[in-house]
Amino acid sequence: MYAFDVVRPSSLDEAVAALGEEDAQALSGGQTLIPTLKQRLAMPSKLVSLTGIADLQGVSADGGTITIGGATPHATVAAEAGSFPALAQLAGNIGDPAVRNRGTIGGSLANNDPSACYPAAALGAGATITTNSRAIAADDYFQGLFTTALDEGEVVTSVSFPVPEKAAYVKFEQPASRFALVGVFVTKSGGDVRVAVTGASNDGVFRWSEAEAALSGNFAPEAIDGLSVSGDDMISDLHGSGAYRAHLVGVMTKRAVAAANG
């Protein structure tokens, strides 16, 4: 590690002002940032902690929408997002208890790790990511590997999820990290079906449009029989080849649909 300053603002305005200073970096749960600093892959001179800002924490439900503050830990989402069981289940299976009590939903979405779980939930549910300056639809927010629509110094203040009629998240875990080798979040609201896949693609989380079309006509696992994704653009590493991950996309989608149907 190296020397740096830590600022702990008590309001969003203070945090935004601090992030406007040269070489400042937002710190939420720190589950990715701290290891990155230890390896000196990033070396900001100032960290601006967001966890002491009360307005960025908490879970609320209103009119079929559940809204989660950006600095809300995974454990809180798991405990308090009962009106959206698939989301609560997803949060309760991230990492281990230490990770769930420190990591935050805003930090995960801002980092947009290609194997993280929350991006699949946001994209699969058609969530809206709200920042200190605007609201961004999930379809516009995720823009590639570790890349989002966030501008420099922009802070995720909350995430709003429309609660669907049916939903489920299923992931095939890398057993040491509990990241998803492949994770699939499916939702059904009337005739609208969304299928979001994480852990598989070199471009990060994506929607599987062919599966969505098939499931819109018949929301059952067998509806995607014969469909597949190409392994060419899939992650290939020591945990699994691109072809293996492409195969898992189909398997996990079927399991997610079955789980959503109860």
Residues of the chain with pLDDT under 50: none
CATH 3.30.465.10 range(s) for the chain read 54-162
pLDDT given for residue 1 in this prediction: 61
Query: Is the domain covering 166-260 a CATH 3.30.390.50 domain?
Result: yes
Nearest to 136 by CA among 117, 116, 112, 114: 112
* Cβ neighbours around 233 below 10 Å, total: 14
CATH 3.30.390.50 range(s) for the chain read 166-260
- The predicted-structure confidence for 20-59, as pLDDT tens digits, reads as follows 888 888 888 777 777 777 777 778 878 888 989 999 999 9
Architecture of domain 54-162: 2-Layer Sandwich (3.30)
pLDDT given for residue 99 in this prediction: 92
Query: Which phi and psi angles does 46 have, rounded to 5°?
Result: -145, 130
pLDDT given for residue 165 in this prediction: 98
CATH 3.30.43.10 range(s) for the chain read 5-49
pLDDT given for residue 160 in this prediction: 98
pLDDT given for residue 109 in this prediction: 97
pLDDT given for residue 68 in this prediction: 98
pLDDT given for residue 107 in this prediction: 94
CATH topology of domain 5-49: 3.30.43
The total number of residues written for the chain in this structure: 262
